Amino acid sequence: MTILANILIVFFIAVGVLFIVVTAIGLFRLPDLYTRAHAASKSATLGVMCVLIGVFLHFWLIEGHFNARILLGILFIFITGPVGGHIMSRSSYIAGVKPWSGTTHDDLKEEIHRMKKEQGIK
Amino acid sequence: MRTNNLILQFTSKFVFFIIFFFAVHIFFAGHYTPGGGFVGGLLMSSALVLLVIAYDLKTVQMILPVNYMYMTAIGLILALGTAAFPMFVGKPFFTHFYDYFHLPLIGKTSLHTAALFDLGVFLVVVGVTMTIIQTIGEDE
């Protein structure tokens, strides 16, 4: 039973660490802010959630201590991580950060233009 | 330029309650586990700051019509009163009392006057933090 629990814990923590490493490589390799925000907000959230699930299972199955705060932390990161990425990339688009030169499709441009015209800016 | 902040506003509505109840939990768990009045107060004020960021200072002031200066004063009075009360019954300054009570729903509970002192610290921390944020935030 302990071996099965340990296999489960090691699996979750290893997957989480792998996703965090993928995040770091993505932040290093990707060309512009938006692709980097995509890497950071998506895979880092999943990686941290996996690590937290591993920690929760360790304390529950091995130490016999049900820690509900870790579950609350998982829920919290699941909600706030992607929203943080969304807010950062949206505010940097409005601040005028240009996408990568190979980008062909830009839906937000017309919408920002329309909002600026409605509020009488420029 | 004002934009449509629907995602931020809806998320902060939901997340506010998580942080709020976690602050209450940290406050009450402070006697036996890490936590207490200071950390709980900081968490509570960070929940309020999240609402201020997502909405507006005036909107939050309308939802929660609290004067944070009075809150600081009430916290200080509570802390001083808890500390000074033993002097009137012939004990040294800052002596705390505790006993076990049988409350109707919770069962056997240990009530301690240190919790009242901690409540004072909590109110002072929330009041001071929110006063600082509001004073810096409204620069009209």
Minimal Cβ distance to B1: which of A76, A80, A116: A116
pLDDT in tens, A65-80: 999 999 999 999 999 9
What pLDDT does residue B57 have? Answer: 87
Interface of B with A (CB under 8 A): 1-4, 7-8, 11, 14-15, 18, 22
CB pair distance less than 8 Å for B1 and A83: no
**pLDDT (tens digit, 9 = 90+) per residue, B5-46?**
899 999 999 999 999 999 999 999 888 889 888 999 999 999
CB-CB under 8 Å, B8 with A94: no
DSSP string covering A61-117: IIS----HHHHHHHHHHHHHHHHHHHHHHHHHHHTTPPPPTT----SHHHHHHHHHH
Give CA–CA dist B38/A29, Å, rounded. Answer: 42
* Closest chain A residue by Cα to residue B21: A72
Percent of chain A with pLDDT over 70: 99
**pLDDT tens over chain B, length 140 residues:** 677 789 999 999 999 999 999 999 999 988 888 988 899 999 999 999 999 999 888 888 899 999 999 999 999 999 999 998 888 888 888 888 888 888 887 778 888 888 899 999 999 999 999 999 999 887 66
Residue A52: per-residue pLDDT: 96
Query: pTM of the prediction?
Result: 0.85
A95 touches B at CB < 8 Å: no
Question: Inter-chain contact A90–B3, Cβ cutoff 8 Å?
Answer: yes
On whether the CB atoms of residues A85 and A41 are closer than 8 A, the answer is: yes
Q: What residue segments make up the domains of chain A, in order of their start?
A: 2-119
**Residues from chain B contacting residue A94 (CB–CB below 8 Å):** 1, 3
Q: Is the pLDDT of residue A122 over 90?
A: no
pLDDT score, position A34: 92
Instruction: Of A86, A77, A110, A93, give the one whose Cα is nearest residue A38.
Output: A86
Query: Which residue(s) pair with B72 in the sheet?
Result: none
pLDDT score recorded for residue B1: 67
Name which of B127, B47, B21, B10 is nearest B79 in CA terms: B127
Long-range contacts of A72-81 (CB under 8 A, 24+ apart): A72/B18, A72/B22, A74/A49, A75/B18, A76/B15, A76/B18, A77/A45, A77/A48, A77/A49, A77/A52, A78/A45, A78/A49, A79/B11, A79/B14, A79/B15, A80/B11, A80/B15, A81/A41, A81/A44, A81/A45, A81/A48
| Residue A29 C-alpha, separation from nearest chain B C-alpha, in angstroms | 29
E strand spans, chain B: 98-103, 107-112
Selecting from B3, B7, B18 the residue whose C-beta is nearest the C-beta of A76 gives B18
Backbone phi, then psi, for B105, in 5-degree steps?
A: -100, -35
What is the torsion angle, in degrees rounded to the nearest 10, for the CA atoms of residue A72, residue A75, residue A78 and residue A80? -70
What pLDDT is recorded for position B110? 81
Contact residues on chain B for A80, CB-CB shorter than 8 A = 11, 15
A85 has pLDDT over 90: yes
Q: In this predicted model, what pLDDT tens digit does every residue of A101-121 receive, in sequence order?
A: 888 888 888 888 888 888 877
Q: For chain B, what percent of residues have pLDDT higher than 90?
A: 51
Residues on chain B touching A69 (C-beta within 8 angstroms): 22
pLDDT of residue B109: 81
Q: What is the pLDDT of residue B16?
A: 94
Say if the Cβ atoms of A87 and B7 lie within 8 Å.
yes
A59: DSSP letter: I
